[in-house]
Amino acid sequence: MVRRVVILLFCLFHCSAPASAQPIEVSVFEGGEGLGFYRRIAQEFKDMVPTTPVRLEGDPRIADRLRIRILEGNLPEVTNASINAWSLIEHGELLPLDPWLDGPSWDGSTTWRETFSPGSLDAFTHQGKTYGVPLVYVVWSVYYDKAMFRRHGWERPKTWPEFLSLCQEISEVDLAPVAFQGRYPYYAKALVQNTYYQRAGPTAYAAQEALEPGSFHNDAMVETLSWLERLSGKYFQKGSLGMSHTEAQLEFFQGRAAMLFCGSWLFSEMQDNIPSNFELGAFPLPLPVSKFADPQASYATSGSWFVFKNSANPEAGVEFLRYLTSSKVAGAFASERGITVAVKGANAALHPMMVDVAHQLDGVRRTFGSPAGEVIPGMDQVWNDVLGKLMAGRLGAVEAVQELETGSVRARQRYEQPDRIEVRHIGKTTAFVAFVLGGLLLGWRRPSCSRATTGAGHHGRNLSFLGPALFVYTVFFVLPSLVAFLVSLTRWDGLGTPRWVGVANFSRLLLESDAFWVALQNNLYLMVVIPAIVLPLSLLLATALYHGVWGQRFFRIAFFFPNLLGVAGILLWQQLYNPQGGPINAILTALGMASFEGFAWLSPDHLYTALVPMGIWGACGFNMVLFLAAMQSISPDLFEVADLYGASAWEKFRYVTLPMIWETLIAATIFMLIGGMKAFEAIWLLTNQSPNTETHVVGTLMIRSMFVEQRIGQAAAIACLLFATVLVGSLFVHRFSGGEEAGQP
Amino acid sequence: MKNRLSGWGIGSLLWAYLGMTLAPFLWLIVTSFKPSREIFMAPFALPDRATGANYVNAWRVGQLGESFFNSVVITVLVVLATLALSSTAAYALARFGLRRAKALQFYFLAGLMIPIQLSVVPLFFEMKALGLLNSRLGLGLVYLATSLPFAVFLLVGFFRSLPNSLREAAFLDGAGEWTVFSKIMLPLARPGLATIAIMTFLGVWNEYLVAFVLLGGGADQALTTLPLGLANLTQVGQFRTDFGLVFAGIVIVMLPTLIVYVTLERHLTKGLKMGANKG
């Protein structure tokens, strides 16, 4: 009775309570500056509009998370993440903001649209409708320390020739002229695009943005890239290609490099790391000598805020944005965060440290910049790859231009003719198919007849013992794997409905895709090089332990440690490989190998070499313990017999130990091969979750297909090919080792 | 065969390899006590003032407490469930004389061949349809499913090696199937169970990819597992140039694994030895 009353009261209370306000969700890119400013704004907004509390979510990788949320259908109201807005616009997921833009601004003095700097709204205007509003409006500059320049009597350069000769002067006093955020090659893209615009003019620039044929393959682009080539070849700080953006920027602020290219978020990002006697100065990016050179035109990009149409309360989201971009808030943002904003007049309040950038903006009459997100997908990867290789000295300007042109042609073709497949790798495809078929034919064995005994009549018992395991295993593992085969035969972006395309995904991956074969090659490298070292080494160590060195148990435990670590181990090695401050380079230089000073182990050039010691460290322990266990189960009688025959240590190993542990050896080999094929975490984490074309393995390529390119069918096809390789590879090893299949007596 | 090897070569090889194995750990721990600014200045210098601030920050910023809790809950439950389901299934396959025993065994074994990456893509959509995305239950079920192949494989071998006479004797005494299983066979298979427990623990505790896909890349910080939490912490640390966070975070994540391993190592070796015998 009491219980019923309580329940009743509870219901009454709940029903009569005022409807609790539904919070809107704001997903923010969290850079170095943290979320403090946004939290304050969210609080102020809630105070003004109490029915709409704001739930803030911030993260440096917000874009990745958001992509997953979009696939899940779990949408926030508002975000400024760098997602692929174009695909979302096409699917009608983003709210067109024009009704509000044409309405009053937050302080009522004019329309909302009018409050923005000219051109800043263009980035996400499509077919007359505007889908994004900017807060941040970034210009790129060359940053320097005014005190340092004064000390040396250096002058701010205006043109590329002046810039390069300044670099030469700087290098002569033993200082690195330019720090560069090399792990992210796109930091050079602004520089390249600005130079190209100034060299070839607005029309040529627009053509390049639209990926028109020939827009890359021209003299102006060659000249542009030659400037970059010369700069990176001689004047980039040593090791910069392996440095993250904050690491390179730290080098700059700590005085080890004289200049830095960056967007106007630099101050905000590095605020806590600027020494007190540092006088931050900035000047515009160097201009080429050309009739098109226009000091009043500047490369600028807006950070855009979007509203999701299908979120719970999009109108409230728009209100939040109106507040966020009001002059008062934008002014506070510019003043506190020190980032230039797109709201007219608000930059007057820009933080004093950024005064040079404010001056730079003052003189600007025209802006141009690449719209964030790609209308034609795939080109970003090409830019990244080509710029990376150019700066690493692996490509000259002429070849780079050719690769950009080829890449743009392919991107365009794939966009305009999605069903067309260009055959480029017929030889490799044939070999692969032969490999798979061969393996299946060789390895296939008809299951032998089993001895049927008393199976009948025990259904209840059988079901209760076997049922649960079979059910879980089938539903949550086998079923999805089978479905993967089906999905691989479709084209699907995860949002709409899948479209049947037969083997097109496979044809494209095998016959056309360069990226797939490069990735497969990387897997092969991991499957061959690392086991080739690990297996003999662990065998050696196991033998040593077997012969009874003191502290066997201690060694066993310690050797196994690295195997336990997973992600933590990989991240540990990421720190070990730090170019400037990491112990590996420190030891190598101390040992006299000066070329390792600032060596960029984790840059695309050297990543796979760096993976070898890491792989050995991680895998030896496990294999050693495995072999040791196998050795210890060999009957001592065999050794006594060998002794009777006067066998030497080597002969005992060769004729007694080895055959007895053969099956374990084969199993270990197969595990390592499978591991090499399944490699994912190491490459994913060491490349900061964005490998480029030459560092991908098949596993990371799959995740990129699924979450970045949103080509679900392709992702599934990659997974199928991975599976086929693993299966066939194991079958081959098994067949040619002559061993019985483990587990089957 | 335990002849004492007097050769310097082998002994020093062991010690050298030991040094190389443990050196990164040592460096990690020492560095984690340095204030962030000092970290990459002089890699081998001892900290001026050892500070625990990094640990506090890492715990707080990375919300490692939440990740820890989630990882523990998921891992423990998955290990227990794996032991329960795989032991019963393996016993049935080994001892019931089923007609399809071989085929079913192969069915489970095939799971060892299937890389989880194959199922990850459809799994995402399957879990979405079942409403199990962003849930510990969903993730746990997937981990359970992927742990079963190896567990069943190992335990079938174990149960086969146990003498049938015991079972027959127990039946004669009037014991039921379940009693025989739980009171006689299971205790005998303890080394195998311990091995499964450790391997499953390792597999689940450190797992990254599936957690990434099914938990929304770690979007909801209350719902991350430790590997996800640590990876995110690294990103945050990099963006904030607060490397102390990263080091302390790595140590926090490593410690439980190492402790569990050292405690249970004996069983693992025994289990592996027996497994090696089967092969």
Give the mean pLDDT of chain A.
Answer: 84
Most confident of the ranges A33-37, A187-191, A647-651, B14-18: A187-191
Query: Residue A268: pLDDT above 60?
Result: yes
pLDDT the model gives residue A452: 46
Chain A residues in contact with B119 (beta carbon < 8 A): 477, 480-481, 484, 719
Give the mean pLDDT of chain B.
Answer: 81
**Cα(A668)–Cα(A675) distance, rounded to whole angstroms?**
10
User: What's the Rg (C-alpha) of chain B?
Assistant: 23
Residues 562-581, chain A, touching B (beta carbon < 8 A): 562-569, 571-576, 578, 580-581
pLDDT the model gives residue A456: 53
The 10s digit of each residue's pLDDT in A66-93 is 887 888 888 899 998 888 787 788 888 8
Q: Minimal Cα–Cα distance from A664 to chain B, Å?
A: 7
Assess A526–B contact: CB distance below 8 Å, yes or no: no
Query: Residue A373: pLDDT above 80?
Result: no
Question: What are the CA-CA distances from residue A205 to residues A192, A213, A299, A382, A418 (Å)?
Answer: 11, 13, 11, 17, 26
Question: What are the CA-CA distances from residue A361 to residues A146, A158, A284, A298 (Å)?
Answer: 19, 16, 10, 8
pLDDT the model gives residue B141: 94
Surface-to-core class of residue A170, CB atoms within 10 Å of its CB (0-12 exposed, 13-18 middle, 19+ buried): buried
pLDDT the model gives residue A612: 93
How is residue A448 annotated by DSSP? P
Tokens matching residue B249: 């975070």
Reported confidence tier of residue A372, pLDDT bands at 50, 70, 90: low
Closest CA to A28 of A80, A64, A74: A80
Assess B162–A contact: CB distance below 8 Å, yes or no: no
Q: Which residues contact A675 (CB under 8 A, 6 or more apart)?
A: A619
**Cα(B245)–Cα(B229) distance, rounded to whole angstroms?**
12
Taking each helix axis from N to C terminus, what angle separates A219-234 and A189-200, rounded to the nearest 10 degrees? Answer: 140
pLDDT the model gives residue A216: 92
Assess B153–A contact: CB distance below 8 Å, yes or no: yes
With CB atoms and an 8 Å threshold, state whether A688 touches B238: yes
Residues 188-247, chain B, touching A (beta carbon < 8 A): 202, 205-209, 213, 216-219, 227, 230-232, 234-236, 238-241, 243, 246-247
Tokens matching residue B148: 């079963």
Strands A490-491 vs A257-263: parallel, antiparallel or unpaired: unpaired
CB-nearest partner of B230 from A479, A558, A571: A571
Reported confidence tier of residue A744, pLDDT bands at 50, 70, 90: very low
Chain A residues in contact with B279 (beta carbon < 8 A): 663-664, 667, 742-743
With CB atoms and an 8 Å threshold, state whether A549 touches B88: no
Reported confidence tier of residue B279, pLDDT bands at 50, 70, 90: very low
The 10s digit of each residue's pLDDT in A129-150 is 889 899 988 889 999 999 999 9
Residue with tokens 């025209």: A366
Side chain identity at residue A589, one-letter code: T
- Which contiguous run of DSSP H or E holds residue A191? helix A189-200
Across A604-622, b (16+ Cβ under 10 Å) vs e yields bbbbbebbebbbbbbbbbb
Q: Minimal Cα–Cα distance from B38 to chain A, Å?
A: 10
Most confident of the ranges A52-66, A378-392, A727-741: A378-392
**Chain B residue at shortest CA distance from A634:** B277
Strands (E), A448-513: 490-491, 499-500
**Chain B residue at shortest CA distance from A454:** B97
pLDDT the model gives residue B269: 66
Assess A440–B contact: CB distance below 8 Å, yes or no: no
Least confident of A32-36, B30-34, B258-262: A32-36
**Cα(A334)–Cα(A324) distance, rounded to whole angstroms?**
12
CB-nearest partner of A72 from B133, B146, B240: B133
Chain A residues in contact with B109 (beta carbon < 8 A): 743
The 10s digit of each residue's pLDDT in A318-368 is 999 999 999 899 999 888 888 888 888 888 888 888 888 888 887 777 778
With CB atoms and an 8 Å threshold, state whether A565 touches B257: yes
**Cα(A203)–Cα(A191) distance, rounded to whole angstroms?**
18
Q: Minimal Cα–Cα distance from B274 to chain A, Å?
A: 8
The 10s digit of each residue's pLDDT in A41-58 is 999 998 888 888 888 888
Least confident of A1-15, A142-156, A415-429, A653-667: A1-15
**Chain B residue at shortest CA distance from A72:** B128
Chain A residues in contact with B261 (beta carbon < 8 A): 557, 560-561, 564
pLDDT the model gives residue B275: 56
Closest CA to A602 of A183, A18, A125, A42: A183
Q: What is the 3-state secondary structure (H, E, C) of A200-237?
A: HCHHHHHHHHCCCCCCCCCHHHHHHHHHHHHHHHHCEC
Chain A residues in contact with B125 (beta carbon < 8 A): 494
**Cα(B37)–Cα(A272) distance, rounded to whole angstroms?**
11
Assess A365–B contact: CB distance below 8 Å, yes or no: no
Residue of A250, A445, A570, A571 to mutate when probing chain B, most B C-beta within 10 A: A571
**Cα(B112)–Cα(B1) distance, rounded to whole angstroms?**
35
Assess A536–B contact: CB distance below 8 Å, yes or no: no
With CB atoms and an 8 Å threshold, state whether A633 touches B273: yes
Q: Are A575 and B249 in contact (CB under 8 A)?
A: no
Q: Which residues contact A103 (CB under 8 A, 6 or more apart)?
A: A111, A112
User: What's the Rg (C-alpha) of chain A?
Assistant: 31
Query: Residue A523: pLDDT above 50?
Result: yes
Side chain identity at residue B190, one-letter code: R
The 10s digit of each residue's pLDDT in A390-426 is 999 999 999 999 999 999 998 888 888 888 888 888 8
Residue with tokens 């690392």: A530
The 10s digit of each residue's pLDDT in A680-699 is 889 988 888 788 888 999 99
Q: Are B158 and B90 in contact (CB under 8 A)?
A: yes
Residue of B241, B242, B265 to mutate when probing chain A, most A C-beta within 10 A: B241
**3-state secondary structure (DSSP) of residue A138:** strand
pLDDT the model gives residue A566: 81
**Chain A residue at shortest CA distance from B125:** A72
Largest CA distance in chain B: 75
Average pLDDT score over residue span B207-216: 85
With CB atoms and an 8 Å threshold, state whether B117 touches A719: yes
Residue with tokens 């090893």: A733
Query: Residue A637: pLDDT above 60?
Result: yes
pLDDT the model gives residue B12: 79
With CB atoms and an 8 Å threshold, state whether B118 touches A481: yes
Chain B residues in contact with A723 (beta carbon < 8 A): 113-115, 118
Strands A176-179 vs A257-263: parallel, antiparallel or unpaired: parallel
Q: Which residues contact B135 (CB under 8 A, 6 or more apart)?
A: B223
Q: Phi/psi at A19 (nearest 5 deg)? A: -55, 120
User: Does the CA dihedral A265-A268-A272-A276 come out positive or negative?
Assistant: positive
Assess A586–B contact: CB distance below 8 Å, yes or no: yes
Torsion, CA B66, CA B72, CA B74, CA B79, rounded to 10:
170
pLDDT the model gives residue B274: 60
Question: What are the CA-CA distances from residue A482 to residues A495, A518, B123, B126 (Å)?
Answer: 21, 27, 11, 12
Higher pLDDT, A370 or A368: A368
Tokens matching residue A254: 């700590």
pLDDT the model gives residue A16: 42
Residue of A454, A537, A572 to mutate when probing chain B, most B C-beta within 10 A: A572
Most confident of the ranges A15-29, A312-326, B35-49: A312-326
Higher pLDDT, B113 or B149: B149
Assess A722–B contact: CB distance below 8 Å, yes or no: yes
**Cα(A226)–Cα(A39) distance, rounded to whole angstroms?**
45
Cα angle: B262, vertex B263, B267; to 5 degrees? 95
Contacts within 8 Å (CB) and 24+ apart, A31-34: A31/A60, A31/A265, A31/A268, A31/A269, A31/B239, A32/A246, A32/A268, A32/A269, A32/A270, A32/A271, A32/A272, A32/B239, A32/B240, A32/B241, A33/A268, A33/A269, A33/A271, A33/A337, A34/A58, A34/B240
Q: Minimal Cα–Cα distance from B251 to chain A, Å?
A: 8
Most confident of the ranges A373-387, A583-597, B33-47, B123-137: B123-137
Closest CA to A61 of A78, A81, A76, A46: A81
Q: What is the 3-state secondary structure (H, E, C) of A616-647?
A: HHHHHHHHHHHHHHHHHCCCHHHHHHHHHCCC
Closest CA to A52 of A19, A93, A5, A95: A19
Surface-to-core class of residue A19, CB atoms within 10 Å of its CB (0-12 exposed, 13-18 middle, 19+ buried): exposed
**Cα(B275)–Cα(A626) distance, rounded to whole angstroms?**
10
pLDDT the model gives residue A199: 93
Contacts within 8 Å (CB) and 24+ apart, A703-708: A703/B209, A706/A494, A706/B121, A706/B124, A707/A64, A707/A67, A707/A68, A707/A71, A708/A67
With CB atoms and an 8 Å threshold, state whether A667 touches B279: yes
Q: Which residues contact B208 (CB under 8 A, 6 or more apart)?
A: A566, A567, A680, A681, B227, B228, B231
- pTM reported for the whole predicted model: 0.80
Query: How many residues make up chain A in this entry?
Result: 745
pLDDT the model gives residue B276: 53
**Chain A residue at shortest CA distance from B6:** A549
Residue with tokens 């542009």: A224
pLDDT the model gives residue A258: 94
**CA–centroid distance for B201 within its chain:** 3
Reported confidence tier of residue A450, pLDDT bands at 50, 70, 90: very low
**Cα(B31)–Cα(A649) distance, rounded to whole angstroms?**
44
Contacts within 8 Å (CB) and 24+ apart, A530-536: A530/A611, A530/A612, A530/A615, A530/A616, A530/A619, A530/A672, A530/A676, A531/A669, A531/A672, A531/A673, A531/A676, A533/A612, A533/A616, A534/A615, A534/A616, A534/A619, A534/A620, A534/A623, A534/A672, A535/A623, A535/A665, A535/A668, A535/A669, A535/A672
